[in-house]
Structure 1
Amino acid sequence: MVSEAESMARESVIVVIDGKRSKGMVEPLDWALKHVVRRKNTVIVVAILGDMGKKNATQCFPLNMRFDFSGILEKLEFSISSGHAEVKPRDLGEEIERKREQFQAILQPFSKQCKRNEVKLEVKLAAGICPEEITLKEAENANTRWIVLDSHLKKYKMCIYWNVECNVAVMKGKDVATLMPSRAPKPDCSPVSSEQADAETWPDDPSLNDQETGNQNVIEEEESSIQPAPRGPSWCPLQFRPGFPREFLSSEIEEITNGFSDIVCQEENLKVYEGVLQNTPVIVKSIQDDEQFWSMLTILSRVRHRNIMNIIGYCCTATNRLLISDYPCLYSFAMKLQCDVSAINLSWRARWYTATEIGGSLRYLHEECPDGPIVHQSVCSSSIVYSHGCSPMLSNFMTAKWYKGDVPFNGNSTGKCPNLEEDKQLYVDIHDYGLFLVELISGKVAGCFPHENEGQSLIDWALPLLESSSVTQLMDPRLADKEDDLKVVHCMARAALLCLKNDSGRSISISEVLAVVRGDQHAVLQL
């Protein structure tokens, strides 16, 4: 029987750092050792190195190597991504040696500190692999209590948080971290509570106790500012709760975003910030293009569907054009397909269900909107997102247009579509939906298809296989092909071919395509 002490010894803390930078690289490790690591824990440092000079990487596989760092590191693991069938350590030559020497120097003091307190230190270098994917894999393989993320990797925090049951800390600066408490049922004692402060420190090193005491208020303050989203059978996104959508004041947006301090991404005409509203994660989009803002607001203020990511509000001032929506906590379908861990969890039935739900949202836009058809124009796996506890939702209405109807929101913009034939406009979405079906079946993301630079698109690769009914060659090899599952895959494949190559000589509606996805035999015979 395993003793309690032995069980605790197997607990681990995963520290994910940006290994490409030198300044501040070890701040997450330093913070973890001060605040959350216990005696006899295992600390797994995962250093994200990028592609290490490799271009057009398409596959990821581990290369395990042991180095003698005078006993400093027990194991150094490289996950190298390459389009070739095999990569040998010697092929990386000088780059591996440079990283070896760098980490030997940087981690020397931490190694001694860990040894004094019977903490096992492992270091794994990851190149050409998604930080989210390797973090989730490590969390699966270890009895993980905490994951500590480098501030440079904070964009992955929500996806990691909603896929693990341990605590997550995200660095905000030296000795300051935002805490995201575990979603799993907690024991009476919390490792960051004041009662447990003594249990969490290492008595053998008094200086560590002093440092932790000095930063304890910082930890508690950060923890109190972040609460997990409400959960339970009655939980739903803010967009479906009473009182939304509504207009927000600038002061409210300032409070929600903590003074616009956390920016998620920035493009030419768009900035995206994260924030918290009613203890629920939200994103705030700052849209620079005035016409685009009013077009999106006009559309999203009128559509309501369970599979459409809508707004929860807006703010319009002389200097700001802001749209607020729920945070897609489980991220986009494209990100899920690119991460092996989450892709394997997307069974064939789950993918088929996603196809029917997104098809239903397009049918609503094309055929059921009271003010006339809406063309999305950006249907793809990157535009399909998940919020915790929700169905897949169509998002990214940056390019959406009304086909007909004059429905002004503020008198400055009608949101009206260009003068194009309706069938041609709607077919844009139907064609894109067919490509999305190919993404679902193959597990490949259109924008990241490995042969794109060689002139072969995902459609170029998939269409011959669809036409020859070679569906098994198209299927995602990461999933098992059970006989029952093959039926839904073939339904999606027939629908994809119908969308991408229409030989009937007439316009195909999304309703007809959706009937094929669902396996309606009458629809298949008719088409």
Structure 2
Amino acid sequence: MVSQTDPNARESVIVVMDGKRNKGMVDALDWALKHCVRRKDTVIVIGVLSEMGKKNATHCFPLNMGINISGILEKLEFSSGNTEGKPKDPGEEIERKREQYRSILQPFTRKCKRNEVKLEVKIAAGICPVEITLREAHNSNTRWIVLDSHLKKYKMCIYWNVECNVAVMKGKDVATLLPSRAPKPDYSSVSTERADAETCPDNQPLNDPENRVVEEGESPILETPRGPAWYPLQYRAGYPREFSFGEIEEITNGFSDIICEEGNLRIFEGVLENTPIIVKSVQNDERFWSMLSILSRVRHRNIMNIVGYCCSGTNRLLISDYPCLYNFAMKLQCDISAIKLTWRARWYTAIEIGGSLRYLHEECPDGPIVHRSVCSSNIVYSHGYSPMLSNFITAKWNKCELPSDVNSTGKCPNLEEEKRIYVDIHDYGLFLVELISGKVSGCFPHENEGQSLKDWALPLLQSESVTQLMDLRLADKDDDSKVVHCMARAALLCLKNDSGRSISISEVLAVVRGDQRAILQF
């Protein structure tokens, strides 16, 4: 949470922008100055270049951008139009962006100076937007965070880790508000009139959104805040169910809020029964029916299930709860949230996700299900609930036909099907390495040099050099070293099976739990 700061210190408004954009890049700052910033505030503008130079990057940092930069942060101080000092040149792209920001944002300094507002501009390269935003909010007396529309996919993860107001741009002069979860101060004495910037009281916003008068014929610029519910829809009576296309249009406000688009998959956000949800539009018929057939039969507290579905014309839609606290990969990549993930919490996560795999492999009445994509990026959180396995887009039934003269033992004799089960076992082992090391598979710093997370971790696991694997952010906390060693033994069992026989997830889970008989057996 945001640190407690001196109540007499300047309050700050943080504006986070996608630094790769040129068109409309200052919309968030312009909106913040009109509706959030008060006299004598500090405005911190952050231009995020977290995905620069890497195609289809997904929240990875630090990045290898070809210019030997690792998570740099440049700060541009504006005072009378000049910067204080000149930072070391970090590369052509950073220098170009630095000059662009100086040019585009310079006109805002006059308005800020007139109202005694301090303007700071920072360029963050190779840093996750959530990481840098939470870091700045933690270190300043932050009242508002305003996110560029291109960064809205990070809004819930940021919102649940701060106690200030959060605004997300939807377009020029249009924003969605997420109100502070902390007790609100009393602004009853604030005038409802639009005050001139020169005569604006010290405690009044330059243009307070709560007091702004909407002119006749003008549409309101702010939407009603949407508060996340505490109880996921997937557990409520009556779900999952079939939805009409009209219902989905209403839930998603006409599909106006798209979170991301990747290949044949588009994801929208919406609200159902005052609860945030996401709607996945799956263009591939085979994948859609495969996911629907699996998720309509699966029920487990550690599996992100569907709330409903819609098949209308060419539309193939799956509705599920919004993972308010985002995915585990992002938590590991953000120092602030990673430190909160103690060894005991990571161990519990390993047990719960292992339990969801055991359910899929061994307890489903229609036969084993193979997820085929177990990793920290596909493990999500809803606020106040356990980690849940998500993203069943690659999942498959692992059915087999047993010969009539073979007694069923619950195991399939087909070696190919056993290999498919082992894919999940292997991936679970790699997930255990992520938990222990705090590093994310696919974002390992040395991958561009040909070394994967597994390549790095396996020799250390084999030599029992667990301390060299442990997340340095938690390395000084030795009181739970036992659970770390249990996860390490299980990871080795999953990643390097020399026993000559297939290993079940139940056997792996026994090792994670610290069952001495299981540990001695392997």
TM exceeding 0.5: yes
Structure 1 residues 402 and 103, CA, compared in 2 at 3 Å: closer, same or farther?
Answer: closer
**C-alpha separation in 2, matches of 1:13 and 1:201:** 20
**C-alpha separation in 2, matches of 1:20 and 1:360:** 41
After alignment, is 332-341 or 376-385 more displaced? Answer: 332-341
Name the residue aligned to 2:245: 250
Aligned partner letter, 1:282: I
**C-alpha separation in 1, matches of 2:162 and 2:469:** 31
Name the residue aligned to 1:265: 260
User: Once the 2 structures are TM-superposed, how far is the Cα of residue 330 of structure 1 from its aligned partner?
Assistant: 1.3
**C-alpha separation in 1, matches of 2:413 and 2:312:** 28
Task: Verify the 8 A CA contact 1:177 1:219 in the aligned structure 2.
Answer: no
Task: Verify the 8 A CA contact 2:14 2:144 in the aligned structure 1.
Answer: yes
Structure 1 residues 236 and 60, CA, compared in 2 at 3 Å: closer, same or farther?
Answer: farther
Residue 331 of structure 2, aligned match among 328, 331, 336: 336
SS of equivalent to 2:425: helix
Task: Verify the 8 A CA contact 1:42 1:121 in the aligned structure 2.
Answer: yes
Q: Which runs of 5+ in 1 are unaligned?
A: 1-5, 78-87, 407-416
Name the residue aligned to 1:414: none
SS of equivalent to 2:89: helix
> Structure 2 length normalisation: TM-score?
0.86
Aligned partner letter, 2:7: S
User: Once the 2 structures are TM-superposed, how far is the Cα of residue 97 of structure 1 from its aligned partner?
Assistant: 4.8
User: Once the 2 structures are TM-superposed, how far is the Cα of residue 391 of structure 1 from its aligned partner?
Assistant: 0.5
Task: Verify the 8 A CA contact 1:180 1:223 in the aligned structure 2.
Answer: no
Name the residue aligned to 1:82: none
SS of equivalent to 1:157: helix
Name the residue aligned to 1:169: 167
Deviations 1:473-495 (A, max 9, x none): 11111223423221111000000
**C-alpha separation in 2, matches of 1:513 and 1:268:** 35
Structure 1 residues 71 and 400, CA, compared in 2 at 3 Å: closer, same or farther?
Answer: same
Task: Verify the 8 A CA contact 1:36 1:200 in the aligned structure 2.
Answer: no
SS of equivalent to 2:500: coil
Aligned partner letter, 1:432: D
Name the residue aligned to 1:42: 42
Q: Does 1:499 align with 2:459?
A: no
Higher share of residues assigned helix: 1
User: Once the 2 structures are TM-superposed, how far is the Cα of residue 64 of structure 1 from its aligned partner?
Assistant: 5.9
Name the residue aligned to 1:187: 185
Deviations 1:114-133 (A, max 9, x none): 12112111111111211111
Deviations 1:161-215 (A, max 9, x none): 111111111111111111111122323448xxx9664598745379x66998466
Aligned partner letter, 1:89: K
**C-alpha separation in 2, matches of 1:181 and 1:210:** 14
Name the residue aligned to 2:517: 522
User: Once the 2 structures are TM-superposed, how far is the Cα of residue 22 of structure 1 from its aligned partner?
Assistant: 2.8
User: Once the 2 structures are TM-superposed, how far is the Cα of residue 89 of structure 1 from its aligned partner?
Assistant: 1.3
**C-alpha separation in 1, matches of 2:331 and 2:132:** 13
Name the residue aligned to 2:122: 124
Equivalent positions of 1:291-330 (< 5 A) are 291-330=286-325
Structure 1 residues 331 and 76, CA, compared in 2 at 3 Å: closer, same or farther?
Answer: farther
Q: Does 1:480 align with 2:475?
A: yes
Task: Verify the 8 A CA contact 1:264 1:272 in the aligned structure 2.
Answer: yes
Task: Verify the 8 A CA contact 2:298 2:364 in the aligned structure 1.
Answer: yes
Equivalent positions of 1:373-522 (< 5 A) are 373-404=368-399, 421-522=416-517
**C-alpha separation in 2, matches of 1:275 and 1:509:** 39
Task: Verify the 8 A CA contact 1:376 1:400 in the aligned structure 2.
Answer: yes
Name the residue aligned to 2:7: 7
**C-alpha separation in 1, matches of 2:241 and 2:469:** 45
Name the residue aligned to 2:357: 362
User: Once the 2 structures are TM-superposed, how far is the Cα of residue 420 of structure 1 from its aligned partner?
Assistant: 5.8
Structure 1 residues 103 and 58, CA, compared in 2 at 3 Å: closer, same or farther?
Answer: closer
Structure 1 residues 377 and 95, CA, compared in 2 at 3 Å: closer, same or farther?
Answer: closer
Task: Verify the 8 A CA contact 1:63 1:89 in the aligned structure 2.
Answer: no
Structure 1 residues 70 and 341, CA, compared in 2 at 3 Å: closer, same or farther?
Answer: closer
User: Once the 2 structures are TM-superposed, how far is the Cα of residue 509 of structure 1 from its aligned partner?
Assistant: 1.0
Q: Which has the higher contact order (CA 8 A, sep 6+)?
A: 2
Residue 160 of structure 1, aligned match among 158, 161, 186: 158
Q: Does 1:55 align with 2:65?
A: yes
**C-alpha separation in 1, matches of 2:315 and 2:379:** 27
Name the residue aligned to 1:90: 89
SS of equivalent to 1:89: coil
Residue 351 of structure 1, aligned match among 339, 346, 352: 346
Structure 1 residues 58 and 429, CA, compared in 2 at 3 Å: closer, same or farther?
Answer: farther
Deviations 1:208-265 (A, max 9, x none): 66998466898966342x32113xxxx3211111111111111110011111111112
Aligned partner letter, 1:227: R
Aligned partner letter, 2:108: F
Structure 1 residues 367 and 59, CA, compared in 2 at 3 Å: closer, same or farther?
Answer: farther
After alignment, is 120-129 or 387-396 more displaced? Answer: 120-129
> Structure 1 length normalisation: TM-score?
0.86
Structure 1 residues 57 and 265, CA, compared in 2 at 3 Å: closer, same or farther?
Answer: farther
Name the residue aligned to 1:227: 226
Aligned partner letter, 2:29: L
Residue 367 of structure 2, aligned match among 359, 362, 372: 372
Structure 1 residues 395 and 203, CA, compared in 2 at 3 Å: closer, same or farther?
Answer: same
**C-alpha separation in 2, matches of 1:351 and 1:210:** 43
Task: Verify the 8 A CA contact 1:65 1:76 in the aligned structure 2.
Answer: no
Q: Which runs of 5+ in 2 are unaligned?
A: 1-5, 54-63, 402-411
User: Once the 2 structures are TM-superposed, how far is the Cα of residue 98 of structure 1 from its aligned partner?
Assistant: 3.8
Structure 1 residues 525 and 463, CA, compared in 2 at 3 Å: closer, same or farther?
Answer: same
Task: Verify the 8 A CA contact 1:248 1:315 in the aligned structure 2.
Answer: yes
**C-alpha separation in 2, matches of 1:371 and 1:318:** 29
**C-alpha separation in 2, matches of 1:16 and 1:485:** 37
**C-alpha separation in 2, matches of 1:64 and 1:395:** 36
After alignment, is 126-135 or 197-206 more displaced? Answer: 197-206
RMSD: 3.0
Name the residue aligned to 1:135: 133
Name the residue aligned to 2:149: 151
SS of equivalent to 1:184: coil
Structure 1 residues 285 and 95, CA, compared in 2 at 3 Å: closer, same or farther?
Answer: closer
Deviations 1:475-525 (A, max 9, x none): 111223423221111000000001111122222111110011011112111
